[in-house]
Structure 1
Amino acid sequence: MSWLIMLLLLFLLSLASSDINQGGFSFNGYLNVDGIAGVDSSGLFSLTNFTRQQEGHIFYKNPLQFKNSTNASVSSFSTTFIFAIVSEYPALSGHGLAFVISPNNEIPGALPSQYLGLFNETNVGSSSNHIVAIELDTIQSKEFDDINDNHVGIDINSLISEASSPAGYLTDDGEFKSLTLISGDPMQVWIEYNGDEKQLNVTLYPINIPKPKTPLLSMKRDLSSCMSVSPPPPMDGKAKELDLSRLPKIPRPQHDNRGIKQLQKTLAISLSLSGLTLVLVVVFGAVLLSRKRRFIEILEDWEVQYGPHRFSYKDLFKATKGFKEKEVLGRGGFGRVYKGVLPSSEIQVAVKRISHDSMQGMREFVAEIATIGRLRHPNLVRLLGYCRRKHELLLVYDYMPNGSLDKFLYHLPDSNLNWTQRFKIVKDVASALFYLHQQWVQVIIHRDIKPANVLIDSEMNARLGDFGLAKLCDIGNDPQTSHVAGTLGYMAPELTRTGKANTRTDVYAFGTFMLEVACGRRPIEARASPDQTFLADWITDCWDKGDILAAVDGRLEKKFVVQEAELVLKLGLLCSHPVAAARPSMSSVISYLDGVAALPDNLSTVIKTQEFLGESDDGLITERNYSVPPLTITESFVSHGR
């Protein structure tokens, strides 16, 4: 469930049956290989390599039948294989892998990292997958309730394991012996299903000992509903033992030895030369070493958790052509963003190069790593990885060819951003914010929602990015921070006074964002007439005059859906209400935008009543002491997720 480390699979498999026609087989060229997987002539199967965020699959080409009709029971079967995970950084992590029984010999749309090349964010957990997998997992994903970062699990249609255990085996005396999956040592796995007892057993052990009598995992479960029917005859039986003498040699990383060998060679030459030559060699070696150090990176304690996401500085230097000025996509408060093309995969990326002369820069960097690096949502910019070198911090994102939304709103005079696109952008960002506040395993406060941080992909979908100010909180805790952060015009009144951010301050910024998208102007326009300086006030004045649509961007030439435009303007005013408790949750915002719920009848009164009567102990307006009339619908104003 990570990206950086190479995994090598030694796969000699024999599936249960008395003969080939009854389902027993071994891999003798009958393979379907996709992704970055490969097979060499020695019988070595390589599922992944050093390419990041890619997956590899190796399937047996011909279908195998586990039951002979839709309502039939699954026959008994067993299989065994030997694997080794060879890690570039054994102290950190390595790629996970899974043995899979799938209805097809390909898995389209599957994602790497925490999805193990089996599922994606939309189908994980669906019973229609018909997938049974045994995962050998090297990363702990809280999203899927992993027990640790070195475990074996039985997965059925999901990555939340039905049963799991730390990697290891039980001796005949009942003693548990732990194993490290990323040790690089070959290990054998047996997967056995008893069709009569409806029991699935998984056994893991080193290849230098006999198979343990007691399996590591044993689960009672009828697999009949999990498997589909295939054409060949059903199989029923016991897999044969593997011939360990036929195992190919396990490759080992070479990079650790190259420096030592070079040093030994240099010393041998040095000792055979005169004193003058020795000095020249030492000087020459120092020059070479200094040049190599140009790309040397330091690994600190906090990076261990995020090690699998790490890019080499050398690759990013090449990708951006040495961080040339002409590759700059944009500039922000903490550095520049460069366009790049990864040398190994030719994939276009955006590289954010952060300045961190102070600890603040480091905090911004760690915040992005700790949040967006683990998030998966179609309306969030995907963080591919990161790099740290000396005082440079770099984040690598998917490249968004259309740039940021503010370019369309303010820097392209002839922008053809029509109403349909604007309304979808509003809904896309709302969906992303709903995910951050209420759908992920932890509550994330973005703290900097504005058009400059909304990127547009090639299909004009909006993606929320720039998590440099994000705040991560456990569900049930009060997600607040006392550090004032954000952009003027998007900061809620209570935030500027107290510095305490929560989900309601995000909603305020989103409300301002909605108004900005609909009206095509910034929240504060110093050059505008006094009655139009503040966007929200101007829209409210238009509403008072009975023509709220007069505030809609004139570049649209009145080509918009009236009901949608009114909804965006009124909902934007409600979300950016100066009283925190009057703002809706993002789940309610989604309901309004999708037409599932209607705005309250007394909305005009609620929005126009903006008198503050006091603050609670935490500096926020409470329902007891604000004068806004209550909404006529039931609304829960919470500052935490689901």
Structure 2
Amino acid sequence: MPGPTVVAVKSLKGIGHADKQFRAEVQTVGVIKHTNLVRLIGFCVKGNARFLVYEYMSNGSLDSHLFSEKATLLNWDLRYQIALGIAKGLAYLHEECENCIIHCDIKPENILLDVEFCAKIADFGMAKLLGREFNSALTTIRGTMGYLAPEWISGQRITKKADVYSFGIVLLEIISGRRSTKRLKFGSHRYFPLYAAAQVNEGNVLCLLDGRLEGNANVKELDVACRVACWCIQDEENDRPSMGQVVHMLEGVVNTVIPPIPSSFQNLIEGENSRIYSDEG
């Protein structure tokens, strides 16, 4: 690297899981390049220690900006561009690489932001490579609760649509500035994605916008983003769009119709008091 360069060094120690994580990262992000993927500059193995050298992301993680009061508040334009960047990165992994790559751990902590707040997908330690003759993989790795697709939770084989589900949850968090697992104030269920799906179905999306933005958002983009998120979290993987389709929706290339409320959510809504949809603010 010519001249002084700031980098980020990730250290993995031990054997077993650490070795698998190291190999997964080198075999995925180590051999591909895309604007919306964090760049692996180099790696080193010394005894049981393994080191991965990445480009430095000066604005940290998306998680820190969405959920920390100390970080810079992301305006709507930045949020929409970040969401689109994540979608483009995943579309590249799923549809443009020689082998389809399922990231398996899409969440705000694994989305890094460079000096211009360009989104970069990071942490490929759980990634799965699928040859073009395969479309699914069996994984025993425990992902992050709150972002796992129903088929993963039930122990079925996963496809790239598991990443689509995780993206949908992340998109809801980008829109709302709240963790999807954070409960609403009233009611017996109080699951935020359920609340969001119901509001989108009714065409009431402004109530989902992060209150700190004080309503400052492109309403058309907000509506599209909310619809896309709810398409991505459909129960059946075949009902979810591909990430390429998500990119086209967010870019306005195709029309995004209102999605149905996922059947698992619908079962929870029936008979529930409407107060479960009251946000705690």
Q: Does 1:393 align with 2:71?
A: no
Q: Does 1:578 align with 2:232?
A: no
Once the two structures are superposed, residues 35-59 of structure 1 have per-residue CA deviations (whole angstroms, 9 ceiling, x without a partner) of xxxxxxxxxxxxxxxx5xx7xxxxx
Aligned partner letter, 1:353: S
- Which structure shows the bigger proportion of residues in helix conformation? 2
Q: Describe how 1:257-336 pairs up with structure 2 within 5 A.
A: none
Q: CA deviation at 1:452?
A: 0.4
1:460/1:531 CA distance change after superposition, 3 Å: farther
Q: Does 1:607 align with 2:261?
A: yes
Which residue of structure 2 lines up, in the alignment, with residue 404 of structure 1? 61
Q: Does 1:507 align with 2:164?
A: yes
1:611/1:409 CA distance change after superposition, 3 Å: closer
Is contact 1:469-1:485 (8 Å) kept? no
Which of 112, 125, 134 is the aligned partner of 1:468? 125
Q: CA deviation at 1:535?
A: 1.9
Which of 12, 27, 46 is the aligned partner of 1:354? 12
Q: Does 1:458 align with 2:112?
A: no
- Mapped to 1, the partners of 2:185 and 2:63 lie a distance apart of 19
Q: CA deviation at 1:607?
A: 3.0
- Mapped to 2, the partners of 1:377 and 1:435 lie a distance apart of 8
- Mapped to 2, the partners of 1:484 and 1:534 lie a distance apart of 25
Q: CA deviation at 1:609?
A: 3.8
SS in 2 for 1:396: strand
- Mapped to 2, the partners of 1:572 and 1:505 lie a distance apart of 13
Q: CA deviation at 1:544?
A: 5.2
SS in 1 for 2:54: strand
Is contact 2:198-2:261 (8 Å) kept? no
- Mapped to 1, the partners of 2:199 and 2:214 lie a distance apart of 18
Q: Describe how 1:87-106 pairs up with structure 2 within 5 A.
A: none
1:578/1:433 CA distance change after superposition, 3 Å: same
Q: CA deviation at 1:387?
A: 1.1
1:507/1:546 CA distance change after superposition, 3 Å: closer
TM-score, reference length from structure 1: 0.40
Q: CA deviation at 1:487?
A: 0.6
Identical-residue share of aligned pairs (%): 35
Which of 155, 176, 200 is the aligned partner of 1:498? 155
User: Structure 1 unaligned runs (5+)?
Assistant: 1-50, 55-344, 613-642
Q: Describe how 1:6-405 pairs up with structure 2 within 5 A.
A: 345-356=3-14, 358-405=15-62
Q: CA deviation at 1:528?
A: 4.3
Which residue of structure 2 lines up, in the alignment, with residue 554 of structure 1? 211
Which residue of structure 2 lines up, in the alignment, with residue 594 of structure 1? 251
Once the two structures are superposed, residues 480-517 of structure 1 have per-residue CA deviations (whole angstroms, 9 ceiling, x without a partner) of 12323321000001101115221010100001111110
Aligned partner letter, 1:438: E
Q: CA deviation at 1:580?
A: 1.2
Is contact 2:79-2:175 (8 Å) kept? yes
Q: Does 1:516 align with 2:170?
A: no
Is contact 2:104-2:127 (8 Å) kept? yes
How many residues were matched structurally?
266
Aligned partner letter, 2:141: V
- Mapped to 2, the partners of 1:429 and 1:405 lie a distance apart of 11
- Mapped to 1, the partners of 2:208 and 2:198 lie a distance apart of 10
User: Structure 2 unaligned runs (5+)?
Assistant: 267-281
Is contact 2:64-2:71 (8 Å) kept? no
Is contact 1:523-1:536 (8 Å) kept? yes
Which residue of structure 2 lines up, in the alignment, with residue 449 of structure 1? 106
Segments of 4+ moved more than 4 angstroms? none
- Mapped to 2, the partners of 1:611 and 1:546 lie a distance apart of 17
Which residue of structure 1 lines up, in the alignment, with residue 273 of structure 2? none
- Mapped to 2, the partners of 1:546 and 1:515 lie a distance apart of 15
- Which structure shows the bigger proportion of residues in strand conformation? 1
Which residue of structure 2 lines up, in the alignment, with residue 478 of structure 1? 135
Q: CA deviation at 1:548?
A: 2.3
Which residue of structure 1 lines up, in the alignment, with residue 195 of structure 2? 538
Q: CA deviation at 1:546?
A: 4.6
Q: CA deviation at 1:542?
A: 2.6
Is contact 2:235-2:262 (8 Å) kept? no
1:544/1:585 CA distance change after superposition, 3 Å: closer
Q: Does 1:436 align with 2:104?
A: no
SS in 1 for 2:7: strand
Once the two structures are superposed, residues 194-239 of structure 1 have per-residue CA deviations (whole angstroms, 9 ceiling, x without a partner) of xxxxxxxxxxxxxxxxxxxxxxxxxxxxxxxxxxxxxxxxxxxxxx
Once the two structures are superposed, residues 332-354 of structure 1 have per-residue CA deviations (whole angstroms, 9 ceiling, x without a partner) of xxxxxxxxxxxxx4210000111
- Mapped to 1, the partners of 2:242 and 2:262 lie a distance apart of 20
Q: CA deviation at 1:361?
A: 1.2
SS in 1 for 2:80: helix
- Mapped to 2, the partners of 1:546 and 1:376 lie a distance apart of 39
- Mapped to 2, the partners of 1:360 and 1:608 lie a distance apart of 35
Which residue of structure 2 lines up, in the alignment, with residue 139 of structure 1? none
Larger radius of gyration: 1
